[in-house]
Amino acid sequence: MATLDVRHLSVSYLTDEGVALNAAEDISFQVDQGKSLGIVGESGCGKTTVMLALLRLLPEAGRIMEGQVLLDGEDLLQCSEAEMRNLRWSKISIVFQGAMNALNPVRTIESQIVEVLRIHGVEGQSQRARVRAGELLELVGIPPERGRQYPHQYSGGMRQRAMIAMALACNPRVLIADEPTTALDVMIQAQILNLLRKLQKSLNLALIIVTHDLGVVAEICDDVLVMYSGTVVETGSSDAIFNHPRHPYTERLLQAFPDIESPNADLVSIPGNPPRLDELPPGCRFAPRCHIAEERCHIEVPKPIEIEHRHWCACHLYTGRRE
């Protein structure tokens, strides 16, 4: 059984006038223990929204319209708020984008880690908790003594690593890393990715990496989920997605990625912009920008079809093939 099984999750935001803007529609995916899933997509495509929904941390205006989030078989969306509070961080934790402000500036790093340890009962005694915090920092390559410093005294990369240490404090089943490398320079990016890969293997984590950077995904993810404008466009193993992508969007995405082997090739970009949430097209959301869109694409929403084993694609190119 997959550790995390998300089924048909849909999230909307309510505007001041009460209109529901559909930010994520019919999202389904699975992550197994010890495997990593990369969720890829342009900025604003709803990746972070989905992640927040998993932890039920949506802002006031956010609503989960339907779906199930099964963590080890238990539906998180059915839990009470109190139960959810217990599960957060202890079963599933998240490292936020650009840990700049994600850490409380007026508390020491150590105290923020100790806090989680005590809240979730991992280490009740403060002395032992501090020791454990030190161990966690060491795990991510930060000298334990630096735990008593404040976030502004850390570099960007260190803060990110500190956040990772904190996220692992309660030995969660699932770790989500939301844009772990954005806003870091390339050298640090590599460090962070290596760290994540190492930790994932050694701790047997179910890892989800949310990013717009295909390179990151290629580096460390076993599986890939491509999102566009709130919908799942294609999902499969890294191999499958990178070597034989099926969805027109995925293809263009890969093409847009500069290829080191042909440095002189023209940079291909996808003309146009993703649709605004209040102006969603009736059919496939990518249809307006798709170079092989047909009439059907503008009318009917394509459902995900399993093209090969564990390789799904939501495109009318393949719709006909289903039996």
Partner 1 sequence: MKEQLQEIWRTFRRKPMGMLGTFMLFSVVFIAIFAPWFAPYDPDAIIHVEPEDLLAPPDAEHLLGRDDAGKDVLSQLIYGARVSLTVGFVASFMAMFIGTTVGLVAGYYGGRIGNALMRLVDFLLVIPDLPLMLVFISIWGRGLWKIILVIGLLGWTTTARLVRSQVLSLKERQFVLRAKAIGASNFRTIMRHIFPQVLPIILAETVLSISGAIIAESSLSFLGLGDPMLVSWGMMLNFAFERAISRMAWWFLLPPGFAIVWVSVGLVLMGSTLEEIVNPRLKTHHLFDPGRMLELFKVASPGLKRPEVTE
Partner 2 sequence: MQQSDFLIRKISFALATIVAVIIFNFFLFRVLPGDPIKAIARSPRLTREAREKLRIDFGLDKPVFFDVLRLKEGDVIGAFDSQFTSYVKALLHGNLGISFRSRRAVAEVLKERVWRTVVLVAGGETLALVFGIALGLVSAWRRGTRLDMTILLWSLFSWGLPTFFLGIILLILARGYLPVGGMVVPGLRPSDGWEYWIDVGKHLILPTITMAIVYTSSYVMIMRSTAVEVLSEDYILTAKAKGLSTFRIMRDHALKNAMLPIVTMVALNLGYTVGGAIQVETVFSWPGIGQLMYKSVMLRDYPVLQGTFLLLAVSVILANLMADLLYSVMDPRVRAE
Restricted to residues 151-180, the positions that interact with partner 2 (CB under 8 A) are: 152, 163
Q: Which is nearer to partner 2, 24 or 114 (CB)?
A: 114
Cross-strand partners of 92:
88, 174
Rounded to whole angstroms, the Cα distance separating 164 from 37 reads 17
The pair of three-digit structure tokens given for residue 237, joined into one six-digit string: 């193993």
From 77-85, 141-149, 164-172, 257-265, span contacting partner 1 (CB under 8 A): 77-85
Look at residue 93 and give the partner it binds from partner 1, partner 2, none, a contact being a CB closer than 5 to 8 Å depending on partner kind. Answer: partner 2
* Contacting residues for 40 by C-beta, under 8 A, at least 6 apart: 47, 211, 212, 214, 217, 224, 225, 226, 227, 253
**List 20, 64, 65, 119, residue binding partner 2 (CB under 8 A):** 119
Restricted to residues 79-118, the positions that interact with partner 1 (CB under 8 A) are: 81, 84-85
Rounded to whole angstroms, the Cα distance separating 302 from 306 reads 12
Q: Give the residue carrying structure tokens 């995904």.
A: 217
Q: Which is nearer to partner 2, 59 or 271 (CB)?
A: 59
Rounded to whole angstroms, the Cα distance separating 209 from 95 reads 10
Rounded to whole angstroms, the Cα distance separating 291 from 272 reads 12
Rounded to whole angstroms, the Cα distance separating 203 from 139 reads 11
Q: Cα angle at 225 between 160 and 156, to 5 degrees?
A: 10
Restricted to residues 189-218, the positions that interact with partner 2 (CB under 8 A) are: none
Look at residue 218 and give the partner it binds from partner 1, partner 2, none, a contact being a CB closer than 5 to 8 Å depending on partner kind. Answer: none
Q: Which is nearer to partner 2, 119 or 293 (CB)?
A: 119
From 62-70, 204-212, 216-224, 302-310, span contacting partner 1 (CB under 8 A): 62-70
* Contacting residues for 159 by C-beta, under 8 A, at least 6 apart: 99, 100, 102, 103, 151
Q: Which is nearer to partner 1, 85 or 148 (CB)?
A: 85
Q: How far is the CB of 142 from partner 2 (least distance, A)?
A: 18
Q: Does 197 bind partner 1 (CB under 8 A)?
A: no
Per CB under 8 A, residues contacting partner 2 are 55, 57, 84-90, 93-94, 96, 100-107, 115-116, 119-120, 150, 152, 163
Per CB under 8 A, residues contacting partner 1 are 16, 56-64, 77, 81, 84-85
